[in-house]
A and B are shown apart, each in its own frame.
Chain A
Amino acid sequence: MNSNIAASIRTQRLASLIPMLSKMIPEHAILSEPEQLKAYECDAFTTMRQMPLLTVLPDTIEQVQHVMRCCHALDIPVVARGAGTGLTAGAMPVENGVLLGMSKFNKIHAIDLHNRTAWIDPGVRNQAVSDAVAPYNLYFAPDPSSQLACSVGGNVAENAGGVHCLKYGLTVHNILELEIVSIEGERMTLGGPALDAAGYDLMAIMTGSEGLLGIVVGIRVKLLAKPASARVLLAAFSTIEDAGNAIAKIIGAGIIPAGLEMIDQTGIQAIEALMHAGYPVHAAAVIICELDGSVEEVEDELSSVIAILNSLNASDIQVSTNETESKRIWAARKAAFPALASLAPDNYVMDGTIPRRALAEVWTKINRLSDEYQLLVVNVFHAGDGNMHPSILFDSSDENQYQRANELATRILELCIQVGGTISGEHGIGLEKINQMCLQFSDAEINQFHALKHAFDEKRLLNPGKQIPTLARCAEFNAMHIHRGEMPFPHLERF
């Protein structure tokens, strides 16, 4: 937007909005100074930034309703933010829009042991839920790598997963009820404490809607009993194919591991340099397999898995014998992304998901693309559920590298779609992958998404411009994309 126009809209909006907000929101909960707003200009996808008009930090549902009513009346966009750990710029503010910070909603209100649920605020940290119910031998299953910091409200917005999805599902499988505030400021309850609710499955549509449909102000989470036994196993392979076959054979044997991960050599070396967890640095790939359940069940499955691994020439098989050893193996895996930071200034983490059968093929093609674009790609992979996290390493201060990284990312996501997969398994679309939505969905499908959004937010004020691209944007992107196909990578010649 022209900066003069933007500035005048800003002045106008501030003049009308602040007095309205102040009727119910205390002064200290309305941030408007640039130095205060700076903290809210991006989420964990830091290459995209935008200062908000204001940041509002309500601490009651009535205040959230008031913010929504004000913004709805004045046609001002609202972007909700949990802990800001999202990876796709989903919580990046909109120019001249309000940033609604939900961090003060941080209470666990009730733990219902008989029904094994808890009613919590959206700003409660993921790990805090499991910590609070641990004395009752219960836990909350979704465990994204950011679980120490990320909020459950954010988990709902992104339908977050983690390393245990294959067996325990995503956020959508582990919540029962949501209280939301609509853009008109109306409170609604979706789902309920029973296992299903009357009418349409609005829990499904709300989960993963990235703040485009409503503001989550209360969540009933499902709690599971902690398994009696959990053993983690690490094994090294000298080829990617053997590692891929091991994954397929474990699942084919009727075993559903609690977690099943795969890391390539560069990833192993980066992790080992940072964490010293005993990962075999000369392997082409390692897999990490966690088995949980009753003691008897785990012992049974463990011997089956070891037999499969041995039949595929695995080496350096380590099996944890206690919780500390299990934690050591997992902590190293969960530190994969920080570890990559030591290899390059920037790290473009992708989130494509593929059918497991295509694993070796996609892995090989990614390596080829990595050579073609002269950028290092590290593969860290939730192998059990097909969710790949290839990381493109680059230096964003070099414009040429930045462009190559973006183009390479699109090629990798295209590859995921070609083999029957998806551009995002758990991180969401936000702004980061909004163009690639045009590759995965037809115009009619995108129109259907917009129509659904319209049912919740007629004025398009909730997190506008994220998740679902406009058809004009797709037309532009697809044109560029085809153009690139005809004239392959002219900018590469300078290298």
Chain B
Amino acid sequence: MADSINATPESLAEQVKNAHYNQSPLQIMGSGSKSFYGRNITAIPLSVAAYSGVINYEPSELVITARAGTPLREIENLLDEQGQMLGFEPPSFTDTATLGGTIACGISGPRRPYAGAARDFVLGVTIINGKGEILKFGGQVIKNVAGYDVSRLMTGAQGSLGILLDISLKVIPKPAYEATRVLPYSHQQMNTLLSDIGRKPVPVSATLLHNNSLYIRLSGAKAGVQAAASAIGGDTLQNADPFWQQLKEQQQPFFNQQRPLWRVSLPPAAAVIPGDLVEEESFIEWGGAQRWVYSHNGKKLQEWAIKNGGHASCFRDAKRDPSLSHSADETVFSPLSPALFALSKRIKDSFDPAHILNPNRLYTGL
């Protein structure tokens, strides 16, 4: 129900107030392009999609402010015209993805380890909390330490702490030049190489290891990129832009499988995931820090990930994983320690005392 009448902050806040009063849970909707992500919930849909449009963009400020319903594509096109981009290179998965959904899900693309994650670029937000109050935190400046950093807390909270209205993001200039090298490397060889060049000022901006091929994208001034490319060796990948674009949007055949796809987040140099936990070789991004695998052994995979300093989440198709079906979806995201869960619940209470905003989407009770 994305008609314009529902799309002023006041009218949205009014609906939240009513829901708070009636203790009736809401499912916050952008375009629905990432509805596969997170746990299934049943609640009354509240669409923010019509609350759309860029509010302010001045390229020399390196900041853009837009409404949550603004299509991500619209923002990317606008930035592109000025030679700028979103540094965290977010995937959209469909043409309709909104800025609000992108920030609420906090998913970042290939450039993340080198430029920063979605949360690193969020400068300020206006939100509606679970009591229907319109609140503003942060701002449009790069440095801002007045009060707690609520804007970054909202990033990745999947709407469970507040409905995003306006979002200010830091943007970056597009690199002048890019080149991608391909090397016939194993996981171990990748670790050795990346550990070495990580301590040198090599302008890496993305990596992928798949099928024993290591792809390294370099970005920056032409001369610097060329010097780094020849130092790394390997071959030049032709048509690199569509390659990274497809990777970011998960359009390669690897992602097109009807099985539970897991995202494993690890320290980059963490060990190779044991073969009994995954069904086939993985898609390894972020210099080893983000690994995509298919697994029917989700619980064990999560335990292994935690033991190795990270966490694992069932990114798509949680319902198809038999190991999950008995546990009420609880294992979509890695379980939190009891102390952290209790703290997270108190934080949820502080923003949304009646638990009406996307309740249980992250974890039961949040």
Contact = CB atoms under 8 A, between A and B. Distances in A.
B44 interface: no
Contacts of A453: 148
Interface string A99-120: 0000000000000111111000
A353 B153 contact: no
A465 interface: no
Contact of A188 (B148, B198, B202, B339): B339
A442 to B, nearest CB: 7
Nearest to A187: B339
Contacts of B268: 114-115, 195
A477 interface: no
Given A294-B224, A455-B350, A159 B135 contact: no
A470 interface: no
B116 A173 contact: yes
A455 B144 contact: no
B183 interface: no
A199 B147 contact: no
A354 B140 CA distance: 8
Contacts of A190: 340
B267 A445 contact: no
B199 A113 contact: yes
Contact of A200 (B117, B153, B269): B153
B266 A194 contact: yes
Given A300-B223, A424-B144, A198 B311 contact: yes
B120 A173 contact: yes
B201 A227 contact: yes
B211 to A, nearest CB: 24
Nearest to B129: A448
A463 B133 CA distance: 27
Contact of B143 (A295, A386, A468): A386
> Which residue, B61, B201, B202, has most C-beta atoms of chain A within 10 A?
B201
B113 A195 contact: yes
Contacts, number: 269
Interface in B208-257: 220-224, 227-228
Nearest to B228: A294
B119 interface: yes
B285 to A, nearest CB: 10
Interface residues of B, number: 89
A455 B61 CA distance: 36
Contacts of B147: 429, 437, 440-441, 445, 449, 467-468
A108 B100 CA distance: 40
Interface string A448-464: 11011111100000000
Contact of A114 (B143, B150, B172, B195): B195
Interface stretch (B4-12, B19-27, B90-98, B154-162): B154-162
B152 interface: yes
Given A114-B269, A173-B120, A300-B221, A429 B146 contact: yes
Nearest to B269: A114
B144 A456 contact: no
A449 B135 CA distance: 11
A294 B147 CA distance: 38
A297 interface: yes
Contacts of B336: 198-199
Contacts of A421: 139, 141
A422 interface: yes
B198 A116 contact: yes
A351 to B, nearest CB: 8
Given A161-B143, A422-B146, A138 B152 contact: no
Contact of B145 (A112, A187, A300, A425): A425
B52 interface: no
B203 A294 contact: yes
Interface stretch (B33-41, B70-78, B319-327, B341-349): B341-349
Contacts of A173: 116, 120
Interface in B192-210: 195, 198-203
A255 B173 contact: yes
A448 B150 contact: yes
B173 A355 contact: no
B313 interface: yes
A204 interface: yes
A271 B144 CA distance: 27
A419 to B, nearest CB: 10
Contacts of B363: 199
> Which residue, B143, B157, B228, has most C-beta atoms of chain A within 10 A?
B143
Interface in A111-138: 112-117, 136-138
A355 B141 contact: yes
A355 B311 contact: no
A452 B141 CA distance: 23
A194 B202 CA distance: 21
Interface string A173-211: 100000000100011111011111111111011011100
Nearest to A161: B143
Nearest to B305: A194
B2 to A, nearest CB: 27
B115 to A, nearest CB: 10
Given A188-B340, A355-B63, A356-B60, A386 B142 contact: yes
A420 B173 contact: no
B143 A202 contact: no
B337 to A, nearest CB: 7
Nearest to A252: B60
A194 B289 contact: yes
B318 to A, nearest CB: 15
A278 interface: no
B57 interface: no
Nearest to B122: A204
Contacts of B152: 172, 201, 204-205
Contacts of B313: 198
Contacts of A166: 142
Given A195-B289, A294-B224, A452 B145 contact: no
Contact of A204 (B119, B310, B350): B119
A372 B59 CA distance: 35
A355 B140 contact: yes
Given A195-B289, A200-B153, A293-B220, A228 B334 contact: no
B143 A294 contact: no
Contact of B340 (A116, A201, A202, A207): A202
| 10 cross-chain pairs, A with B, having the tightest CB-CB distances, nearest first | A296-B223, A204-B152, A294-B224, A254-B173, A425-B143, A114-B269, A455-B346, A451-B350, A194-B310, A297-B221
Interface of A: 112-117, 136-138, 158-159, 161, 165-166, 169-170, 172-173, 182, 186-190, 192-202, 204-205, 207-209, 213, 225-228, 248-249, 251-252, 254-256, 293-297, 299-301, 353-357, 382, 385-387, 420-429, 433, 437, 440-442, 444-445, 448-449, 451-456, 467-468
30 contacts: A173-B116, A173-B120, A193-B267, A196-B265, A196-B311, A198-B336, A199-B340, A199-B341, A199-B363, A199-B366, A200-B153, A204-B119, A208-B148, A208-B149, A225-B200, A248-B60, A254-B174, A254-B176, A255-B173, A293-B220, A299-B223, A353-B142, A355-B63, A386-B141, A422-B141, A422-B144, A423-B146, A445-B147, A455-B350, A468-B147
Given A165-B142, A225-B201, A422-B145, 5 more contacts: A170-B143, A198-B334, A200-B161, A225-B200, A456-B343
Interface of B: 58-63, 83-84, 106, 112-113, 116-117, 119-120, 129, 133-137, 139-150, 152-153, 155-157, 161, 172-174, 176, 191, 195, 198-203, 220-224, 227-228, 265-270, 286, 289-290, 309-311, 313, 333-337, 339-341, 343-344, 346-347, 349-351, 362-363, 366
